[in-house]
Chain A
């Protein structure tokens, strides 16, 4: 009984985090992006500086009619948002935020592979949406999504593999246990590759070619309205949370901090995640969208060689110190 309660409690907490953090990131994006453009952003909803804007958006989305295009592949069209969103929920279960046993939803032995595998499944949602919408813009969006995923999955995996080599384990808490501060300069290239590839996998600007609104409306999500559309958006922001959390855990030392590692480890994790989420927003505001050929070129000619070089460096240092 106690075990069941424990599991239920963990799931509830993970679910709460899953529902709250993406909204926090979304609201931060509203405000940060506005101020970076000399605007104020939402100011009304909720009274104080529009803090409840996303709640209001959610209510609005829930009220909208759920439309499925007549020519669409109904079942797949309706299933796609869930396929896009649920993997991030699963990933969140495995991300440790503190050193203690209670600070992670579930310890997964092959943690890195688990999170990367499940994140890859999320993209299937976009592909399903793109294909099932019976819309040429959606189809183009789906194609671009697939091409982007194929290009960026590899550098992401290689960068993650570098950390796994350094730590000698593929379990996320295990990596954090092995973390030393000098891993930061050692793995910095891998960290950059991982973060950039992750951004591309989430289709965040400047890698938002699959949803380029000036060319293909909203890519795979063009035909979606109401709650299903909101689920896709939620998936994007959940993806940001997951990506930032993962980068924190893999490259920035998670709960390790200059001080207070015992009780306040989770604060360090959250802080680093928040800073990374800010960087995600910052990059979105600062850079224009990459063209499709630039996207592919960046992945195949820059990120993959860099990731391979990082692995070589990791191997050399690992052999040298052991």
Chain B
């Protein structure tokens, strides 16, 4: 029970040839797809995985990134410093100080796990990609270079319409609202007190 073949379409001889010519001619009139890279920089989306940037003020030397890195290309050195007690009689605190933060981009496979895993938003993707070197050693970017990449990190893309508010902004807003409410309350109390004062003075004057 073979399916009967569809009735052959009436074909003009040579229509296939004409179609081939039409395709090439149409392509010729369209815009080319060539990327003229060194002359024209590519427009990369903000999430492009070009290079990893370090915002070292946020780094607490928790070592999560270095430990999660699949090919161990992140090098971190640090030491502990004790901070004297803030109040007399208080306890001394110890603090981690970053000595070295380096990423070896000859090993890095751009998986982005370090960025995902950083709890304090110290690592970012930057779309910069032109850092080829003639010496492989120079592909190990030390902290100052990683810091410089930080200035190339683009703004994050805007949230979708109706998206949930980011937690930190929500927290900040709540705090701000609370403060606002407090201030308003204080102002109201002041006003009431003033009004009470005025009413009293008036009463005294009338007497």
A and B co-occur in one complex: yes
Residues in B whose Cβ lies below 8 Å from that of A43: 36
Q: Is A34 an interface residue (CB 8 A)?
A: yes
A34 and B24 CA atoms in complex are apart in Å by 10
A32 closest partner in B (C-beta): B28
Whether A40 lies near B36 (C-beta < 8 A) is yes
A39, B32: Cβ atoms closer than 8 Å: yes
Asked if B45 CB lies within 8 Å of chain A CBs, one says no
CA distance A240 to B17 in the complex (A): 21
Q: List, in ascending order, chain B residues with CB within 8 A of A39's CB.
A: 32-34
CA distance A43 to B36 in the complex (A): 9
Q: When chains A and B are docked, how far (Å) is the Cα of A286 from the Cα of B23?
A: 8
Please count how many residues in chain B sit with their CB below 8 Å of the partner chain's CB atoms. 13
The answer to whether B32 and A36 have CB atoms under 8 Å apart is: no
Question: A287 in the interface, Cβ–Cβ < 8 Å?
Answer: yes
The majority secondary structure among interface residues of chain B is helix
- Size bracket of the A interface: 10 to 19
Nearest-neighbour CB distance to chain B for A231, whole angstroms, equals 30
> Given that A40-B34, A43-B36 are known contacts, is A35 also in contact with B20, CB under 8 Å in the complex?
no
Please state if B32 and A282 are interface contacts (CB–CB under 8 Å). no
Does B27 contact A38, Cβ atoms closer than 8 Å? yes
The A interface, classified by DSSP as helix, strand, loop or mixed, is helix
Smallest distance from the beta carbon of B22 to chain A beta carbons, Å? Answer: 9
The one of B21, B27, B36 that contacts A35, using a Cβ cutoff of 8 Å: B27
Among B24, B25, B33, B36: residue with most chain A CB under 10 A: B24
Pair B25/A36 contact, Cβ less than 8 Å? yes
In-complex Cβ contact of B32 among A35, A283, A285, A286 (8 A): A35
Asked if B80 is at the interface (CB within 8 A of a chain A CB), the reply is: no
> By the criterion CB–CB under 8 Å, are A34 and B32 in contact?
yes
| A167–B20 CA distance with the chains assembled, in angstroms | 35
Q: How far is the CB of A73 from chain B (nearest CB, A)?
A: 41
Residues of B within 8 A of A (CB): 17, 20-21, 23-25, 27-28, 30, 32-34, 36
Q: Could you name 27 residue pairs across A and B whose Cβ atoms are closer than 8 Å?
A: A32-B28, A34-B32, A35-B27, A35-B32, A36-B24, A36-B25, A36-B28, A37-B27, A38-B27, A38-B30, A38-B32, A38-B34, A39-B33, A39-B34, A40-B32, A40-B34, A43-B36, A282-B21, A282-B24, A282-B25, A285-B24, A286-B20, A286-B21, A286-B23, A286-B24, A287-B17, A287-B20
